[in-house]
Amino acid sequence: MLEQRKPITVAEAVQRVMLKEIPFKSESIHIEESLGRRLAEDLVATHPVPPFDRSPYDGFAVRSADTKTASRENPIDLRVTETIGAGSVQSVPVGEHEAARIMTGAMMPAECDAVVMLELTSEPEKGIMRIKRAFNKGDNISFKGEDAKEGTVLVQKGEMINPGTVALLATFGYEYIKVASKPVVGVLATGSELLEVNEPLEPGKIRNSNALMAASQIKRAGAEVKMLGKLSDDLEACYESVKQAMEEVDILITTGGVSVGDFDFLPEVYQRLEAEVLFNKVAMRPGSVTTVAHKNGKFLFGLSGNPSACYVGFELFTRPVIQRMMGNPKPHLPLEDAVLGADFTKPNPFTRFVRGTFSIQNGRLEASPSGFNKSSAVSSLAATNCFIVLPGGTRGFTAGDQVKVALLETTEGSEWSW
């Protein structure tokens, strides 16, 4: 008797996945390897920035009191004690009616409380600088701690390291940083019809595109890939390979063999493994047969064999687990408002994730289907940078309709989208 699968909503399915305990591991890496990784601890200012009062200009450090009476008619002359370049410190005190020549970034002499730009001075004779206006205490000083105070959390744990974060890490002397470990995601393609990329076509066969596609999605999501090859539709081989793979990876993705065909063996593999099946039918298109199972704290993502369904299943269910394993507090695809750029007339009772291309038109998002939009489609995936999310129902959609789009190529995520 054929088992009847009961579809659940996308929200319910994603929630079942995310409610499982998702492990988090961290490791220490060199700063030069840190771009794109996620911080495993808060980045705290370990000292004030700048660490000392410094000059923002090339000019002269003065004692403001000495300049009080200066004017165009009554210029004031100060004796120059020395030149302080960036990286050097004063070697002599600056006394009354004296100034130190100072360069941008150099530490202020202790006795001075203002800086005069070089352009506002003249040199009536060697060793003397002349100014024609008064300066106040604090004029033109980059104060210690004005950029960042010691102890401030500047970047929170879970944030992705960008070039600005790298600058901060370097500023505070973090040569090694604790970041989230990248989960290792295994990819196993099933299907007796599958050929390797370098094999010529034969009748009834197709090349295995899902495995390398999924591997690229894994990398885009920031994780590590372990290619586990492909299997023909053979229950024993599938069972043994999945069982073995689970020892070697943090997450396992299989593609194909999750529907109700005579050679769709994944449901039986999960049964034999005594894995908990979180769901095996989702009210969405494509990817309705996406099956997620859980065993010994590890996820098994049974993605559909159909390329578009496989692609969508990964982005909706696998990606957020990877993101969460790397500490991202916003693990889901960000959902934005957009205007539909072309008709999509075919109604469907399930929520559709139409592979789409969005662009920004006059400041608002416009999204159109990226091509052939069946579950089996591969040709539309290259132009896909979003999913156009069309709620299930009896009507189609027409150009100009307000829709939601889930963005695929941004590092910005969302706490919850569904």
Ligand X SMILES: Nc1nc2c(c(=O)[nH]1)N[C@H]1C(S)=C(S)[C@@H](COP(=O)(O)OP(=O)(O)OC[C@H]3O[C@@H](n4cnc5c(N)ncnc54)[C@H](O)[C@@H]3O)O[C@H]1N2
Chosen from Mg ion, ligand X, ligand MOO, none, partner binding at 208 (C-beta under 5 to 8 Å by type):
ligand X
Please count the residues of this chain forming the interface with ligand X, following the rule CB under 6 A. Answer: 27
Asked whether position 305 contacts ligand X by CB under 6 A, the answer is yes
For residues 280 and 303, what is the distance between their CA atoms, to the nearest angstrom? 10
Nearer to ligand X, 113 or 233 (CB): 233
Read off φ and ψ for residue 274, nearest 5 degrees.
60, 40
Closer of 83 and 376 to ligand X (Cβ): 376
- Long-range CB pairs of 18-21 (<8 Å, 24+ gap) are 18/320, 18/321, 18/324, 18/331, 20/278, 20/294, 20/299, 21/297
**Residues in the chain, how many?**
418
How far apart are alpha carbons 18 and 331 in whole angstroms? Answer: 10
Tokens of 142: 């980059």
Q: Which stretch binds ligand MOO (CB under 6 A): 16-24, 169-177, 303-311, 337-345?
A: 303-311
35, 110, 206, 383: which one binds ligand X (CB under 6 A): 206
Instruction: Check binding of 259 to ligand X (CB under 6 A).
Output: yes
Asked if residue 375 binds ligand X (CB under 6 A), the reply is yes
Q: How far is the CB of 25 from ligand MOO (least distance, A)?
A: 32
Reduce the DSSP state of residue 340 to 3 states and report it.
Answer: strand
d(CA 248, CA 123): 74
Q: Of the ranges 33-41, 117-125, 283-291, 350-358, which one interacts with ligand X (CB under 6 A)? A: 283-291
265 backbone φψ class: left, alpha, beta (φ>0; ψ -120 to 50): alpha
Residue 285 is a binding residue for ligand MOO (CB under 6 A): yes
- Under the criterion CB under 6 A, does residue 282 sit at the interface with ligand X? no
Pick the binder of ligand MOO from 155, 245, 266, 289 (CB under 6 A): 289
**Cis peptide bond N-terminal to 307, omega within 30:** no
Pick the stretch among 127-135, 243-251, 301-309, 336-344 that binds ligand X (CB under 6 A): 301-309
**Which x/- pattern over 325-364 shows residues binding ligand X (rule: CB under 6 A)?**
----------------------------------------
The residue (of 264 and 366) whose beta carbon lies closer to Mg ion is: 264
DSSP state of 4: P
Q: For residues 363 and 376, what is the distance between their CA atoms, to the nearest angstrom?
A: 34
C-beta of 191: minimal distance to ligand MOO in Å?
A: 15
Site track 340-379 with ligand MOO (rule: CB under 6 A), x = hit: -----------------------------------x----
Among 222, 257, 267, 286, binds ligand MOO (CB under 6 A): 286
* CA angle (353, 354, 355) in 5-degree steps: 110
Name residues whose C-beta falls within 8 Å of residue 130's C-beta, 6 or more positions apart in sequence.
75, 76, 77, 78, 121, 122, 123, 124
Pick one of Mg ion, ligand X, ligand MOO, none as the site partner of residue 209 (Cβ within 5 to 8 A by kind): ligand X
Q: Could you give the CA distance from residue 117 to residue 222 in angstroms, rounded to a whole number?
A: 48
What residues line the site for ligand MOO (CB under 6 A)? Answer: 285-289, 304, 306, 309, 375
